[in-house]
Amino acid sequence: MKNALKEISSYLIIIVIVLLIKSFIFTLVRVNGSSMDKTLHEGNIMILNLLDHSFEREDIIVADKSVEGSLIIKRIIGLPNEKIFCKDGIIYINDVKYDDPYANGETADFDEITLKEDEYFLLGDNRVVSLDSRYFGPVPKKAIMGSTNIIVFPFKKIGKVK
Protein backbone atom coordinates (compact mmCIF):
# COMPACT_ATOMS: atom_id res chain seq x y z
CA MET A 1 0.00 0.00 0.00
CA LYS A 2 2.85 2.41 0.88
CA ASN A 3 4.55 1.74 -2.45
CA ALA A 4 1.34 2.45 -4.34
CA LEU A 5 0.84 5.75 -2.48
CA LYS A 6 4.46 6.69 -3.11
CA GLU A 7 4.09 6.00 -6.82
CA ILE A 8 0.79 7.89 -7.06
CA SER A 9 2.25 10.87 -5.21
CA SER A 10 5.17 10.97 -7.67
CA TYR A 11 2.73 11.20 -10.58
CA LEU A 12 0.67 13.84 -8.80
CA ILE A 13 3.79 15.97 -8.25
CA ILE A 14 4.67 15.69 -11.94
CA ILE A 15 1.12 16.67 -12.94
CA VAL A 16 1.16 19.69 -10.61
CA ILE A 17 4.54 20.83 -11.98
CA VAL A 18 3.33 20.49 -15.58
CA LEU A 19 0.14 22.44 -14.78
CA LEU A 20 2.13 25.21 -13.08
CA ILE A 21 4.50 25.49 -16.05
CA LYS A 22 1.56 25.56 -18.47
CA SER A 23 -0.27 28.19 -16.42
CA PHE A 24 2.57 30.55 -15.61
CA ILE A 25 5.61 29.99 -17.87
CA PHE A 26 4.53 28.84 -21.34
CA THR A 27 1.70 27.16 -23.14
CA LEU A 28 0.90 26.12 -26.69
CA VAL A 29 -1.35 28.11 -29.02
CA ARG A 30 -2.81 27.14 -32.37
CA VAL A 31 -3.08 29.55 -35.29
CA ASN A 32 -6.65 29.81 -36.54
CA GLY A 33 -7.41 31.64 -39.76
CA SER A 34 -5.29 33.43 -42.32
CA SER A 35 -4.77 36.85 -40.74
CA MET A 36 -1.03 36.21 -40.20
CA ASP A 37 -0.30 34.66 -43.65
CA LYS A 38 2.62 34.59 -44.96
CA THR A 39 4.34 34.44 -41.58
CA LEU A 40 2.01 31.96 -39.87
CA HIS A 41 -0.50 29.54 -41.30
CA GLU A 42 -3.70 27.86 -40.18
CA GLY A 43 -2.88 24.97 -37.88
CA ASN A 44 0.62 26.09 -36.85
CA ILE A 45 1.19 25.37 -33.18
CA MET A 46 3.43 27.79 -31.32
CA ILE A 47 4.95 28.23 -27.88
CA LEU A 48 3.44 31.20 -26.04
CA ASN A 49 5.82 32.81 -23.53
CA LEU A 50 3.64 33.86 -20.58
CA LEU A 51 6.47 35.46 -18.58
CA ASP A 52 7.80 38.18 -20.88
CA HIS A 53 5.63 41.29 -20.92
CA SER A 54 8.21 43.71 -22.31
CA PHE A 55 6.63 43.89 -25.74
CA GLU A 56 8.35 45.55 -28.69
CA ARG A 57 7.24 46.67 -32.12
CA GLU A 58 6.84 43.72 -34.53
CA ASP A 59 6.50 41.14 -31.73
CA ILE A 60 3.87 38.49 -32.43
CA ILE A 61 1.51 38.34 -29.46
CA VAL A 62 -1.60 36.52 -28.33
CA ALA A 63 -4.43 38.60 -26.89
CA ASP A 64 -7.08 37.07 -24.68
CA LYS A 65 -10.78 36.61 -25.38
CA SER A 66 -11.70 40.05 -24.01
CA VAL A 67 -10.48 41.66 -27.25
CA GLU A 68 -12.48 39.83 -29.91
CA GLY A 69 -14.31 36.92 -28.27
CA SER A 70 -11.54 34.39 -28.90
CA LEU A 71 -7.77 34.33 -28.65
CA ILE A 72 -6.12 36.32 -31.43
CA ILE A 73 -2.58 36.23 -32.79
CA LYS A 74 -1.39 39.56 -34.22
CA ARG A 75 1.73 41.68 -34.58
CA ILE A 76 2.43 44.79 -32.49
CA ILE A 77 2.82 47.82 -34.72
CA GLY A 78 1.99 50.74 -32.41
CA LEU A 79 3.47 51.11 -28.93
CA PRO A 80 2.14 53.00 -25.88
CA ASN A 81 1.93 56.80 -26.24
CA GLU A 82 2.53 56.70 -30.00
CA LYS A 83 0.41 58.35 -32.67
CA ILE A 84 -0.41 56.03 -35.58
CA PHE A 85 -2.38 56.32 -38.81
CA CYS A 86 -2.41 54.99 -42.36
CA LYS A 87 -2.82 57.15 -45.45
CA ASP A 88 -2.66 55.85 -49.03
CA GLY A 89 -1.63 52.42 -47.71
CA ILE A 90 1.38 53.79 -45.81
CA ILE A 91 1.54 53.55 -42.01
CA TYR A 92 2.91 56.53 -40.09
CA ILE A 93 4.06 56.34 -36.48
CA ASN A 94 4.57 59.72 -34.81
CA ASP A 95 4.37 61.24 -38.32
CA VAL A 96 7.28 59.12 -39.59
CA LYS A 97 6.74 56.60 -42.38
CA TYR A 98 6.94 53.06 -41.01
CA ASP A 99 8.84 50.50 -43.07
CA ASP A 100 6.34 47.64 -42.95
CA PRO A 101 8.34 44.46 -43.66
CA TYR A 102 5.62 41.97 -42.68
CA ALA A 103 2.63 43.38 -44.55
CA ASN A 104 1.00 40.92 -46.92
CA GLY A 105 -1.32 43.01 -49.08
CA GLU A 106 -2.06 46.71 -48.89
CA THR A 107 -3.00 48.18 -45.53
CA ALA A 108 -6.38 49.91 -45.63
CA ASP A 109 -6.25 53.52 -44.48
CA PHE A 110 -7.26 54.29 -40.91
CA ASP A 111 -7.64 57.51 -38.97
CA GLU A 112 -5.05 58.82 -36.57
CA ILE A 113 -5.14 57.45 -33.06
CA THR A 114 -2.96 58.28 -30.09
CA LEU A 115 -2.33 55.26 -27.91
CA LYS A 116 -2.55 55.53 -24.13
CA GLU A 117 0.34 54.52 -21.90
CA ASP A 118 -0.91 50.92 -21.63
CA GLU A 119 -2.23 50.40 -25.19
CA TYR A 120 -0.88 48.67 -28.28
CA PHE A 121 -1.97 48.81 -31.92
CA LEU A 122 -2.10 45.33 -33.46
CA LEU A 123 -2.21 44.32 -37.11
CA GLY A 124 -2.36 40.95 -38.78
CA ASP A 125 0.29 40.42 -41.44
CA ASN A 126 -2.37 39.53 -44.04
CA ARG A 127 -3.78 43.05 -44.12
CA VAL A 128 -6.56 42.34 -46.57
CA VAL A 129 -8.40 39.83 -44.35
CA SER A 130 -7.22 40.62 -40.81
CA LEU A 131 -9.61 41.89 -38.18
CA ASP A 132 -7.28 43.88 -35.97
CA SER A 133 -6.88 47.23 -34.22
CA ARG A 134 -8.17 49.00 -37.33
CA TYR A 135 -11.55 47.49 -36.43
CA PHE A 136 -11.57 46.78 -32.67
CA GLY A 137 -9.24 49.58 -31.59
CA PRO A 138 -6.15 49.58 -29.39
CA VAL A 139 -5.51 46.65 -27.08
CA PRO A 140 -4.67 47.18 -23.39
CA LYS A 141 -1.51 45.53 -22.11
CA LYS A 142 -3.52 43.50 -19.58
CA ALA A 143 -5.28 41.73 -22.51
CA ILE A 144 -1.99 40.53 -23.99
CA MET A 145 -1.20 37.06 -22.66
CA GLY A 146 2.35 36.87 -23.99
CA SER A 147 4.55 36.76 -27.05
CA THR A 148 5.29 33.93 -29.43
CA ASN A 149 7.92 33.33 -32.06
CA ILE A 150 8.56 29.57 -32.09
CA ILE A 151 6.60 27.13 -34.24
CA VAL A 152 6.59 23.56 -32.89
CA PHE A 153 4.14 22.03 -35.38
CA PRO A 154 4.09 21.06 -38.18
CA PHE A 155 7.44 19.46 -37.56
CA LYS A 156 8.85 20.51 -40.92
CA LYS A 157 8.29 24.17 -39.87
CA ILE A 158 9.83 23.92 -36.38
CA GLY A 159 11.82 27.00 -35.57
CA LYS A 160 11.85 30.68 -34.83
CA VAL A 161 9.78 33.17 -36.82
CA LYS A 162 9.81 36.94 -36.77
Query: Which of the following is catalytic: 6, 9, 22, 35?
Result: 35
Query: Which of the following is catalytic: 6, 54, 70, 74?
Result: 74
Is 130 an annotated catalytic residue? no
Task: Name the 3-class secondary structure at 20.
Answer: helix
Q: Cα dihedral sign for 91, 103, 47, 69?
A: positive
Is 74 an annotated catalytic residue? yes
Rounded to 10 degrees, the C-alpha dihedral 141/145/147/148 comes to -150
Closest C-alpha to 130, from 151, 110, 150, 105? 105
Phi, psi of 135 (to 5 degrees): -110, -45
Count Cα atoms within 13 angstroms, Cβ side, for 149. Answer: 12
**Residues noted as catalytic:** 35, 74
